[in-house]
Structure 1
Amino acid sequence: MNEFFASFSLNEIFKATMVLFAVIDIIGSIPIIIKIKETSGDIHANRITLVSLVIMIAFLITGESILMLFGVNVESFAVAGAFVLFAMALEMIMGIELFKETPIKGKSVGIVPLAFPIIAGAGSMTTLISLRAEYEMVNILIAILINMIIVYATLKLTRRIERLLGPGGVAILKKVFGIILLAIAVKLFASNVTQLFQ
């Protein structure tokens, strides 16, 4: 226990928090959250945040072992996540429907794609592996918790943000962040696909 708290570092917590915040980009995901609300009527912030937290902590602790159980390496996982993000970006930019789903009601709304792959997706998981090599476990865990608090608050305040922006603002936000999401997908794909052929 003493060793656990001896590893506590505000500097590491701040750096890890900022890195995860940039990767998760929950603010940039507001258009996706609004889109899911339009389709399903509501989302369950508690459940989405909890599922995201569990996925990220589990992956932090077990790392690549989880993927190896299924015979999948981190690069393959990242490329698969890039395809999903790419498709979602096209929906936002072009106004087309690629994910033809029956509207879902109940507690499972938003688990996919919000909890995975938006919040706890390939980008977050590969980042956690990188952070694990640089920072102490306790500091990364705290950084994850801080980000989950931000995620929860954003999910809860989405309706207010939507009213503040109005229909025109939401449409513009979707296009802008759709392009950003597309760029993230391309970068995630490009940085991992070459590893698959080595």
Structure 2
Amino acid sequence: MAVFDVPLFAEATITLVVIMDPPGTVPVFLSLVGRKTRSTRLAAARQAVLVSLGVITLFAVGGEAILSYLGIGIPALQGAGGLLLLLIALDLLTGRGDAQPEAVEDVNVALVPLGTPLLAGPGAIAATIVFVRQADGHWPSYLALAAAILMVHLVLWACLRFSGLVIKVIKESGIVLLAKIAGLLLAAIAVQLVADAVRGFVSGAS
């Protein structure tokens, strides 16, 4: 009997990388913490990835039980994530987020929206639950899924960790422009999540 499910590892890794989009998180990350010190950026990157890892692991271990107990379906999760991202996007587009106290902003950035729902969003959570179902009680499959989750988060951390190199190129004015672009992209992602949630409710998905 195989001790490691290589096909599941490859499928889960590719799927989660596509959904969580490590390079795509860099503009949002820089728009939120690009003006901070290097140590603050590194701490935010580390905390965001750890939060994402914790959320994904939590739903991998007991996701179906949690959602079932609370009576929450995937469409509701998508809708909540979409509305939360929309609020962050509006702050980026209007510049209101710059008025927040620095300490509070630093904490919020690492936890929300970076850790969740941007990294550990509804799509990644749903995909993880599906892969757990595929594992179907086989330990080699569970081991492969755990390795895939760790691999994806290492890639995420590397992208955020070295995002400071981009700051040296774009400077302060580039960060301002990046914030507006990131806000627009986040708004589009938010609208798509809400649309998916509505579609799920209409079709009766759960």
TM-score normalised by the chain length of structure 2 = 0.76
CA contact (8 A) 1:52 1:115 kept: yes
Partner of 2:144: 139
Q: Distance in 1 between matches of 2:117 and 2:74?
A: 14
> Structure 2 vs 1, CA of residues 117 and 193 (structure 1 numbering), >3 Å: closer, same or farther?
same
Match of 2:190 among 160, 173, 185: 185
Unmatched segments (≥5 aa) in structure 2: 136-140
**2:101 counterpart of 1:102:** yes
The code of the aligned residue for 2:187 comes to L
**2:19 counterpart of 1:23:** yes
The code of the aligned residue for 1:166 comes to K
**2:166 counterpart of 1:161:** yes
Unmatched segments (≥5 aa) in structure 1: none
User: What count of residue pairs does the alignment treat as equivalent?
Assistant: 193
Q: CA deviation at 1:175?
A: 4.4
Q: Distance in 2 between matches of 1:61 and 1:16?
A: 15
**2:65 counterpart of 1:60:** no
CA contact (8 A) 2:88 2:113 kept: no
The code of the aligned residue for 1:23 comes to I
Q: CA deviation at 1:148?
A: 0.7
How many percent of aligned residue pairs carry the same amino acid? 24
Q: CA deviation at 1:127?
A: 1.9
Partner of 2:138: none
Q: CA deviation at 1:188?
A: 1.9
Q: Deviations over 1:37-79 (max 9, x none)?
A: 2576524133332222121111012122223343422221111
CA contact (8 A) 1:12 1:139 kept: yes
Q: Which has the higher helix share?
A: 2
Q: Distance in 1 between matches of 2:36 and 2:65?
A: 35
Partner of 1:50: 50
Report the more deviating stretch, 55-64 or 178-187.
178-187
CA contact (8 A) 2:12 2:148 kept: yes
1:63 counterpart SS class: helix
